[in-house]
Amino acid sequence: MNSNLRMERNAEILRRHEENGVIIWGFGIFIDEDVEIGEGTEILPGCIIRGETKIGKNCIIGPYAVINDAKIGNDSTIGPFVNIRPKSELGKKVRIGNFVEIKATSMGDGSKASHLSYLGDAEIGEDVNIGCGAITVNYDGSKKHKTKVEDEAFIGCNVNLIAPVNVGKEAFVAAGSTITKDVPPKVLAISRKKEQKHIKDWKRP
Those residues whose C-beta lies under 8 Å from the C-beta of residue 30, and which sit 6 or more positions away, are 10, 47, 48, 49, 50
Phi and psi angles of residue 9, each rounded to the nearest 5 degrees, phi first = -65, -40
Is 198 considered catalytic here?
no
Distance from C-alpha of 115 to C-alpha of 106, rounded to nearest angstrom:
17
User: Across the strands, what pairs with 88?
Assistant: 70
Distance from C-alpha of 144 to C-alpha of 152, rounded to nearest angstrom:
25
From the candidates 17, 115, 145, 198, give the one annotated as an active-site residue.
115
In 3D space, the residue among 25, 175, 191 whose CA is nearest the CA of residue 115 turns out to be: 175
- Contact in structure between 105 and 88 (CB atoms under 8 Å): yes
Residues with a known catalytic role: 115
